[in-house]
């Protein structure tokens, strides 16, 4: 068993205050080496304070709000976080697309395995297309896709093509207030003019920016100006009828 000194050092290393350390040691002593049917082993943790939240939470909430407002019948997700997709599947039938093969046990999920540059469905097939933190990776080979410097442009055009008139495209990606760049082969970092050019033919419903430094939403003036750094862009755009 760890000594009291070792436990105290571990808790101090993760920022625990003196009261928590005293309470932990007293609680451990009260449990002894066993409590009922439980064997007791010290494994100190200190995760108090506000519930942690970051840009992924903000992205998922942004997308969830717009999906709820639209209540689409047919949703295509292109490369989003798997946890978010599973959440959508609790209330919607979703077609999911990824370049990496995957099987699903959920009967209301249709899985398409392909490169997003060529989506094998007819024009206007979906009421909503969602893509969270995926655009910046397309065509860089990171996930086994074909290297194509214009892979993001081609994939974005496909997402617009398969969206019906009046449908919404919800996407998030990297953004900078400086010149756009590629951190090869991790991701691209976009500027606002580039993202707006991709959205030609769509009407903006909402755009938001999230500062990684501040860990909160910000105006565009607050978007990073540090070289090779990035913040998060979130956009909901409607396809014009």
- pLDDT 10s digits, 134-193: 999 999 999 999 999 999 999 999 999 999 999 999 999 999 999 999 999 999 999 999
Identify the pLDDT of residue 3: 87
Rg (C-alpha) for the chain, rounded Å, is 23
How many CA atoms lie less than 13 Å away from 224 in the CB half-sphere?
21
Q: Which domains does the chain have, with CATH numbers?
A: 4-39 (no CATH), 55-239 (3.40.50.150)
* Distance (Å) of CA 42 to CA 19, 23, 32, 35: 18, 13, 10, 13
What local confidence, expressed as pLDDT, does residue 36 receive?
A: 81
Enter the pTM of the model: 0.91
At residue 37, the pLDDT reads 83
Residue 198 CA to residue 207 CA, distance in Å, equals 14
């Amino acid at each position: 068993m760890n000594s009291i000194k070792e436990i105290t050092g571990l808790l101090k290393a993760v920022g625990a205050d003196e009261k928590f350390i005293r309470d932990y040691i007293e609680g451990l002593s009260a449990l002894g080496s066993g409590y009922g049917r439980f064997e007791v082993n010290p494994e100190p943790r200190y995760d108090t304070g506000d519930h942690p939240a970051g840009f992924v939470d903000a992205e998922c909430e942004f997308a969830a709000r717009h999906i709820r407002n639209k209540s689409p019948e047919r949703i295509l997700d292109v490369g989003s976080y798997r946890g978010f997709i599973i959440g959508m599947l609790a209330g919607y039938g979703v077609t999911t697309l990824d370049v990496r093969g995957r099987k699903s046990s959920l009967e209301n999920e249709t899985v398409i395995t392909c490169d997003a540059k060529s989506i094998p469905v007819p024009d206007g097939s979906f009421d909503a297309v969602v893509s969270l933190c995926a655009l910046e990776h397309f065509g860089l080979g990171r996930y086994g896709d074909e290297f194509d410097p214009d892979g993001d442009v081609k994939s974005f055009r496909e997402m617009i093509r398969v969206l019906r008139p009046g449908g919404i495209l919800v996407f998030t990606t990297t953004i900078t207030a400086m010149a756009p760049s590629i951190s090869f082969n991790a991701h691209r970092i976009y500027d606002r003019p580039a993202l707006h050019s991709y959205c030609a033919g769509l009407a903006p419903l909402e755009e938001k920016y999230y500062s990684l430094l501040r860990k909160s939403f910000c105006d565009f003036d607050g978007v990073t100006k540090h070289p090779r750094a990035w913040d998060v862009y979130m956009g909901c755009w409607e396809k014009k009828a």
